[in-house]
Amino acid sequence: MADINEVIDGYRLRSLLQTGQTSQVFEVVEVKSNRHFAMKLLLPEAADKAEHRNTLFNEAEIGIKMTHANVIRITRVSRSKTTPHFIMEFFPSGSLRLRLQAKDFAFIKEHSRKIFRGAGTGLAYMNASNYVHRDVKPDNILVNSIGDTKIIDFAISKKIPTGFAKWFHRRGRPQGTPSYMSPEQIRDEIVDGRADIYSYGCMLFELTTGRPPFRGTSQNDLLSRHFGEKPAPPSAYNPDLTDEFSAFVLKLIAKKKTDRPDNFHQVLIELQKVKQIYKSVVEKPTEYE
């Protein structure tokens, strides 16, 4: 386990930001420049396991290619045998999950338009770069005090196969978070940006109602509901939500991917057409960016 003030590869560990099953994220300071970054470091018990190393390096390789204001920027990777890690930009904020856990719905309501557009814009960029995030959820969207967002965690992100690559896909055990997985992702089919659109829709549902669109008594029960249960409109759980916003969210979480918007560019256009998200908030007209 790494210690605060320890120096790893020229970076001094300043504070622990997050601990996961196989890794930790620290705020770090580059010793030679005194600049602040974040470091994702595999735990010692995971550092020598090929599966965990490959997952870390996959995330790093994808993140290094991403250069967008709404996607966390990964700047370098170390394949050290004892301390495998990567360095990313430091974005001082918490996740949307923390806002939900704190029941800070007033913040979400105040910044909803900016948060939803920012996350959607970042995902539009990832998909246009030919990658599917595959784990869009409140935990993986950082948001600061003014509603700026950054998408994080590309651990299970994949390149969208094209041409002959599609023939080499073999179904296996599905990866993702059960509350947000599209039906095609649950079946471990080849997925495209419409799978991220479904997860994004599930996330918007939860951010505005305090609960995901589907709940189950077990993981298998929950997964089956993505196929067979018709979701109630978000306004059924939060009467302050407008009917037009509820209809927008329901379109995002359509069972068939062909019934969803074709891509996030279309999602953003349709979001712009939603004049009000909340009945109690009169929004000023804004131009689509």
**Mean pLDDT, to the nearest integer, of 252-279?**
98
Superfamily of domain 7-89: Phosphorylase Kinase; domain 1 (3.30.200.20)
- Residue 242 CA to residue 204 CA, distance in Å, equals 13
Q: For a pLDDT cut of 90, what percent of the chain falls above it?
A: 89
Residue 232 has pLDDT above 50, yes or no: yes
> Can you give the pLDDT at residue 59?
96
- Residue 266 CA to residue 174 CA, distance in Å, equals 27
* pLDDT per residue as tens digits for the range 117-149: 999 999 999 999 999 999 999 999 999 999 999
**Mean pLDDT, to the nearest integer, of 99-107?**
97
> Can you give the pLDDT at residue 286?
57
pTM: 0.93
Q: Where in the chain is the domain with CATH 3.30.200.20?
A: 7-89
Q: Where in the chain is the domain with CATH 1.10.510.10?
A: 94-273
- Residue 248 CA to residue 92 CA, distance in Å, equals 31
Fold of 94-273: Transferase(Phosphotransferase); domain 1 (1.10.510)
**Mean pLDDT, to the nearest integer, of 255-277?**
98
What separation in angstroms does the CA of 200 have from each of 96, 153, 203? 13, 15, 5
> Can you give the pLDDT at residue 289?
42
Query: Which one-letter amino acid corresponds to residue 252?
Result: L
* pLDDT per residue as tens digits for the range 2-34: 889 999 999 999 999 999 899 999 999 999 999
Residue 36 has pLDDT above 90, yes or no: yes
Residue 221 has pLDDT above 70, yes or no: yes
> Can you give the pLDDT at residue 175?
87
